Amino acid sequence: MATSKTEKTKSKVKTAVQEALEVTWVLKGHLKNMQIAYIRVGVLLAKVRDKKLYAELKHPDMESYAQERLQLGRASLYRYLQVHDWIGQYHKAWLEPKPKGFIPNLSDATDLIWVEEELARKGLDSKRKAGLKDLQKKALEGKLTEGEVDAFRRKRGGEDGLKSFLSKLKVLRMRGSQLASMPDEATSHLDAAIDIIKNAAAGQKTGT
């Protein structure tokens, strides 16, 4: 019995849907593999940093090693290390050989890192904590839209701006400590600045 035109059309539609589903499944696998690869790069870079393996190859610091041996720029180097250290503190399950579940885009995890560091602070009021939890959930599900975290930050005004600057200054202090050529005096001044800003932020919070 000859196949009807309607049946042929349905067959083609079904085949197209199957192809779309197969391509989507493969894409999801590749995207997750990209995140796993990002994590593994961070793990190895942290090993070089922590064990000072760069010195064994006659490099004065991590930046020199990364640039000359890996063609990896300064910004990318510290982003890998920042993400690795954050994962080690908040998402250790992602360090497993075959991590389960969805892993968000780690090359652009700045917002999620900020949210989780804020959630770790003591004394959060219930409204702010709920807002941060909502942002965290969206980020971990890959549903956080551009500008949501910035909008949340702006609600806090000057207090949050100061905390944000303090967070960035701490990162710069950490980077500087990894440079063999960093003067001790500069490190001391950075530590002093961090203490001053920390006290100022605390003063804003208490209204003093």
CB atoms within 10 A of CB 91: 19
Q: Model confidence at 7, in pLDDT bands (50, 70, 90)?
A: low
Region 153-174: mean pLDDT is 74
- What percent of the chain shows pLDDT beyond 90? 54
- Rounded CA gap, 13 and 201, in Å? 60
Contact (CB, 8 A) for 118 and 149:
no
Residue with token string 């063999």: 180
Encode pLDDT of 77-93 as tens digits: 999 999 999 999 999 99
DSSP string for residues in 9-68: HHHHHHHHHHHHHHHHHHHHHHHHHHHHHHHHHHHHHHHHHHTTHHHHTT-SSHHHHHHH
* Low-confidence winner among 19-23, 94-98, 106-110, 112-116 (lowest mean pLDDT): 106-110
Give the per-residue pLDDT at 172: 86
